Amino acid sequence: MQSIPAESEFAVERGAEPAWRRWLVLFIAALLGLAGALYLAVVLLDPFSTGRFTPLQRIDIAIHSVALSNAGRVRDPSFDSAIMGNSVARRIDPARLSVATGRRFVLLAVDALLPDQQLVIARAFARHHRGTASFVFVLDPFWCADNVRAWPRRRELQEWLYQSSDFEYLSRIFFPQAIEAAGRRLLILAGRLGPARPPNGYEPINTLYVPADMPERMRTMQRPRDAAAPDAPFPLLDLLAHFVAGVEPQVNVLMIFPPAFVGSLPEPGSAADRREAACKGAAQRIAAGRPNTEYLDLRIENEKTRLIANFYDPNHYRDDIAREIEQAIAGRFLSAFGAARER
Amino acid sequence: MLFNSYAFLLAFLPAAILVCRIVDPHPRARIPALIALSLAFYAYWDWRFLALLIPSIVINWWAAKLYLATRRGGVVTVAIAANLAVLAAFKYPAFIADNLAFATGVDFGHVGAVLPLGISFFTFHHIMYLVDLRRGRAPEYPLDRYALYICYFPQVLSGPLVRWNEVMHQFGREIFTPGWQRRCAAGAMFVVLGLAQKVFLGDPLGRIIDPIYEQALAGALPDGRAWIGLAFAFQVFFDFAGYSDVAIGLALILGVQLPRNFDAPFRASSIQEFWQSWHMTLARFLRDYVFFPLAYSGIGGREHRVTRQLVAILITMALCGLWHGAAWHFVLWGTLQGVALIWGAVWRRYLPSPGLVLGWAATVGFFVFTSVFFRGATLDAIWRIYEGLLIPPFGVTTREWRIIALAVFVAVVLPPSHEIVRRLTEKPRAIVALGLAALGVAVLVQIGRGENDEFIYFQF
């Protein structure tokens, strides 16, 4: 065992006290001064374009993280309609949908985001577009869980960016990505840089990691059989029902189950099949119970969902399918809600 | 309260320094003030744990008093047994129930309790004092001083494991005596460097390592990423060495010097040297209170002295593993360390030295390789990590390699923090103050992530 230092290790030499006092003063002043200046700069530069505590009211997308940059998108007046979801929704092109419907769509889907987290973003969009918003909710089996915490949170959403007291916002805005985004926003304001991501949230995936053996895995995968009882609760759909009931009646809402590879669809006649049917029924009831609310089910077995080439993996369709989904959404929007209202 | 939280750094710590400054001219108020601060610090996590900590202090102090009054060794024996029983009741019920169920076939259902923070550490503090009391080495202390020894907030949660004779005389002394500025500067350096180790090295490693071990729980790791799991040895080092540095720094600011806990273990060229520089205060506790009594117990007579010592090493290190966690993989980890220590002792006696480089590679390689037993949640998961090592690490990304390479560089090449602080405090330099302030701001920004990872040793 090596010796442990004596307690006199940091004793001061005689006469050195004033110099060490000045050192401490300099250290504390520099620490507080630097931290304070940096904090003030971050708050005033408003890195995520929330419009809080800043004279800057324009929207800049100054960070790559979609979960963070959506805090600006939700208040962007350039858009009046939002596509909500997770990675399953990120192939839907809001620009094409805008052309097809006459509305101005923004993609607010975030990879790996769970339903209750998606609703945090949806509520913020609804609040900033009071009475004029439209929503497309891209649903997946996560919505059919029988308890809110059924799935592990793979992505943390900074919910305080979307809804928080002033104190909470000010106490949490000092973090690495905020510094990064504040710096980038400064460069954007100076005209030296463009936005970190497209303002409407859509960009073609060309970096999606797909294991080389994915087609083989899809070919041999077993369809799900087990699930909760069909009459078990659907707490996440209840949250969705509560959300749609809370927004103004004229707000258009479309819920859609997008196509998934047949291998991920429940085995017909199994418990999973009965559960999914009950889930879809619950979503239909939400649509039936409110005006300006529609339901669309494309999560079915057919020629397209049997074709492996149409999917990156069992849950994520490729762009050809995305174009068809856009057409289906646009068609339902036009038939159910009519052409875009003048706003 | 986490050291790496705004609540601690921006509220509790300045308040604690202010309180100490106010009471400093009043000798009788110093220890009570520190006890109050320490109990507030401890209760911040869960005030109900005070219901264990306070009686634990009072009962052990009373047992010591009773022993001194009666000189009956049984009092100390009972007190130590009671401390260990309480520790076992909180820490090991599930482990004991699972093993009984395995042996008897009787299912005891879910057994377990919330582990009070720091229980393993304050139990050992009680034991150190009581054993030394019976050996006639420790004096009697008033309740307030003994209470502070047990609950002193810089060390109550995860050490360092401090001997009573290292700190008792430091408690209650005037803090702001002439020359306090250099000591405070050194304390600030330890705090900033400790937090930097945690947030810039330990936590980033944890964020790449945790998914690997989670994946190992679910199934095989066929993509060569199991290699990332080996970096846990460095994660736990920066996590705990960082924590220890913060504890040492806080105590220094408040006028108390705690013993150091790490001394560049990843530069060790033998396993003995490694364990002399890794969690040094625990190693010292195990040596003095477990190994020595076993090794010199006289069992088996003089002719079995060597065998007895080797068996004592094995038992001591197996217990070291069990102390770290109530699971067989921890016991296996400790036993492997014991086997390595025996191997090292035998080698040193009968074989030529392998040389510094080979010895270093074998030592660090062994510790890194066996750290999987420490981190893996189940024996199956541990096996899957080792299986995954059969595949070359092509699946590890450049970013992950960078994080690991930086950690290895700092652990192996840079001097230990106490050496850095010693050099930086040779004389007061403005550039050091500014650099440390900048690092402190970077730490604060990093802490602002809001996902501050607990220190690993909080669970022990």
In order, the DSSP letters of A10-28 are GPPPTT-HHHHHHHHHHHH
Q: Indicate the residue among B153, B173, B193 that finishes a domain.
A: B173
* CB contacts, 8 Å: B252 with chain A: 10
Residue B135 sits in the same domain as residue B160: yes
At residue B297, the pLDDT reads: 79
Q: Which residue has the higher pLDDT, A209 or B202?
A: B202
Inter-chain touch A1–B283, beta carbons under 8 Å: yes
Best interface-test mutation with A: which of B445, B446, B451 has the largest number of A CBs within 10 A? B445
For the record, the structure tokens of A163 come out as 């809804």
Closest residue to B183, CB basis, from A2, A10, A22:
A10
Let me know if residue B95 belongs to a domain.
yes
- Residue A135's CATH number: 3.40.50.1110
With CB atoms and an 8 Å threshold, state whether A23 touches B280. no
Which one of B125, B279, B324, B418 is the catalytic residue? Answer: B324
In a domain, B230, yes or no: yes
Could A176 and B449 be called an inter-chain contact, meaning their C-beta atoms sit closer than 8 Å?
A: yes
Distance of CA A150 to the CA centre of its chain: 19
> Least CA distance to A2: which residue of chain B?
B276
Please tell me which residue of chain B has the smallest CA distance to A21.
B181
Residue indicated by tokens 């049997």: A306
* Domain span including residue B316: 181-459
Q: Are B194 and B48 found together in one domain?
A: no
Rg (CA), chain B: 23
Do B299 and B161 reside in the same domain of the chain?
no
Give the closest-approach CA distance of B73 to chain A in angstroms: 29
For B428, the closest of A19, A34, A174 (CB atoms) is: A19
Last residue of a domain, one of B154, B173, B192: B173
Are B229 and B136 members of one domain? no
B290 and B164 in one domain?
no
Does residue A256 sit in helix, strand or coil? strand
Query: What are the tens digits of pLDDT across the range B98-148?
Result: 888 888 877 777 666 678 888 999 999 999 999 999 999 999 999 999 999
Q: CB of B161 within 8 A of CB of B282?
A: yes
pTM: 0.87
User: Cβ–Cβ of A179/B445 closer than 8 Å?
Assistant: yes
Structure tokens, B118: 């720091």
For B96, residues 6+ apart whose C-beta sits below 8 A from its C-beta are: B88, B111
B251 and B146, same structural domain? no
CB A260 within 8 A of CB A229: no
Please compute, for residue A60, the number of CA atoms within 13 A of its CA located in the half-sphere on the CB side. Answer: 23
pLDDT confidence tier of residue A343, bands split at 50, 70 and 90: very low
Residue A191 belongs to a domain? no
* Number of domains chain B is built from: 2
Residue A5 contacts B, CB cutoff 8 Å: yes
- Whether residue A166 lies inside any domain: the answer is no
**Same domain? B335 vs B401:** yes
Q: Would you list the DSSP string of B133-172?
A: HHTT-S----HHHHHHHHH-TTTTTT-----HHHHTTTTT
Say how many domains are in chain A. Answer: 1
| Both structure tokens of B181 | 């500025």
- Rounded to an integer, what distance in angstroms lies between the CA atom of residue B187 and that of residue B249? 4
CA distance B277 to chain A (A): 7
Domain shared by B145 and B189, yes or no:
no
**Helices B119-134 and B73-91, interaxial angle, to 10°?**
170
Q: In degrees rounded to 5, what are phi and psi of residue A135?
A: -130, 140
Instruction: Please provide the size of chain A in residues.
Output: 343
Q: Is A339 on the interface with B (CB under 8 A)?
A: no
Put simply, whether A56 touches B (Cβ < 8 Å) is no
Last residue of a domain, one of B173, B189, B212: B173
pLDDT, residue A208, reads 61
The distance of A23 to chain B (nearest Cα, Å) reads: 6
Instruction: State residue A6's pLDDT score.
Output: 40
What one-character-per-residue DSSP string does B302-336 give?
A: GGGHHHHHHHHHHHHHHHHHHHH-SSHHHHHHHHH
Whether A217 has its CB under 8 Å from any CB of chain B: the answer is: no
> What is the rounded CA–CA span in Å between residue B217 and residue B385?
9
Tell me whether residue A336 is exposed, middle or buried, using C-beta atoms within 10 angstroms of its C-beta: 0 to 12, 13 to 18, 19 or more: middle
User: Taking CB atoms and an 8 Å cutoff, what residues of chain B touch A12?
Assistant: 178-183
Interchain proximity B259–A4, CB inside 8 Å:
yes
The answer to whether residue A248 neighbours chain B at the CB level (below 8 Å) is no
Q: What sign does the CA torsion over B55, B64, B134, B145 have? A: positive
Domain carrying residue A98: 79-158+200-337
The ipTM (two decimal places) reads 0.90
Q: Is residue A45 part of a domain?
A: no
pLDDT at A5: 46
Per-residue model confidence as pLDDT tens digits over A249-302: 999 999 999 999 999 999 999 999 999 999 999 999 999 999 999 999 999 999
Contacts of B186 in chain A (CB under 8 A): 9-10
Query: What's the pLDDT score for residue A16?
Result: 77
Q: Mean pLDDT over residues A202-216, rounded? A: 76
pLDDT at B112: 65
Per-residue pLDDT of chain B (460 residues; tens, 9 = 90+): 889 999 999 999 999 999 999 999 999 999 999 999 999 999 998 889 999 999 999 999 999 999 999 999 999 999 999 999 999 998 888 888 888 888 887 777 766 667 888 899 999 999 999 999 999 999 999 999 999 999 999 999 887 999 999 999 999 999 998 888 999 999 999 999 999 999 999 999 999 999 999 999 988 888 899 999 999 999 999 999 999 999 999 999 999 999 999 999 999 999 999 999 999 999 999 999 999 999 887 777 777 888 899 999 999 999 999 999 889 999 999 999 999 999 999 998 889 888 999 999 999 999 999 999 999 989 999 999 999 999 999 889 999 999 999 999 999 999 999 999 999 999 999 999 999 999 999 999 999 987 656 666 665 5
Domain assignment of residue A278, yes or no: yes
Residue B201 DSSP one-character state: I
Q: Do residue B192 and residue B166 come from a single domain?
A: no
Instruction: Judge whether A232 lies within some domain.
Output: yes
The span from the CA of B93 to the CA of B9, in Å, is: 35
Q: Quick check: is A71 in a domain?
A: no
Q: What's the rounded Cα separation, in Å, for the pair B374 and B243?
A: 19
Q: Look at the alpha carbons of A178, A180, A183, A184 in this order and tell me if their dihedral is positive or negative.
A: negative
The CB density around residue A277, as the number of other CB atoms within 10 Å, is 12
- Phi/psi class of residue B259: alpha, beta or left (left: φ > 0; alpha: ψ in -120 to 50)? beta
How far is the alpha carbon of B25 from chain A, nearest alpha carbon, in Å?
19
Tokens of A338: 């009519």
Contact A279, A234 (CB under 8 A): yes
d(CA A301, CA A311): 14
pLDDT digits (tens, 9 = 90+) for A105-151: 999 999 999 999 999 999 999 999 998 899 999 999 999 999 877 67
Residue B5 lies in a domain: no
Report the 10 Å Cβ neighbour count for B395: 16
Contact between residue A203 and residue A197 where contact means Cβ atoms under 8 Å apart: yes
Of B280, B436, B449, the CB nearest to A4: B280
B329 belongs to the catalytic site: no
Q: Does A17 touch chain B (CB under 8 A)?
A: yes
| CB-closest option in B178, B257, B425 to A17 | B178
